[in-house]
Structure 1
């Protein structure tokens, strides 16, 4: 039995710390760079896929919170103005807490569902649901047209 315990300890030491953690949801850090007076999030598709949300919904939220116009272009998001990587990552964290993470069980296995006229966050893991605030975008657009 003593040999078994030694082998078990040896095996656990070889397992990476991240594999031992029970939290499987890791929010990716936004790769942000500025070009002139615009800020670009290079890995927007990866962030949207991890959060299991539409890129347009996340960009709409970020535009509202940053108080500027934003648009999606391929796998990137482009915003007017200069914003730091720290600012963007904090807003994505707030977004995930408000629109992704279930308040009942703390899991990210959720969907946004419209029930009547109300958007609801429904958890696939525990079955919990709650209404969420509607994201309202600014009227201005980077496309130059009226919206």
Structure 2
């Protein structure tokens, strides 16, 4: 004859569920809205300068060189980072620049599973992966 356990299966399930919730990071429960940062740019001669490029990269929690590499590839130009600003060869409106920053956020910042910006880029076996701190998902990234 089988003995009945002291706890029902439902109670054991509830305890395991509570343990799982305790292990989740606090950021997953925050309900703050993420806004894509806007790049403030000016055109000087034949160059475009993004004045707040350092602020954009720190808001996105990404290396400024990674963001710049993406922008330069997408815009088909050359450029560099000087302090808090990015300087690119060519004339680009702020609409074009902000559109490319939004594309960067969609491809390299937002989690593809939970749609949160709490991600980091890690390298595994020569492949860049997007790892979400909120849900734990991993997704391979296109190389730049």
The two structures have a TM-score, normalised by structure 2, of 0.78
* Aligned residue in 2 for 1:14: none
Runs of 5+ consecutive residues of structure 2 not aligned to the other structure: 1-30
Aligned equivalent of 1:60 = 69
Superposition map of 1:36-75 within 5 A: 36-75=45-84
**Aligned-residue CA RMSD (Å):** 0.8
Matched, 1:76 2:116: no
CA distance in 2, matches of 1:89, 1:23: 22
- Alignment match, 1:143: none
Distance 2:41 2:75 in 1: 14
TM-score normalised by length of structure 1:
0.76
Q: Secondary structure at the match of 1:26?
A: coil
Q: Does 1:29 align with 2:38?
A: yes
Secondary structure of the corresponding residue to residue 130 of structure 1: strand
| Total equivalences in the alignment | 114
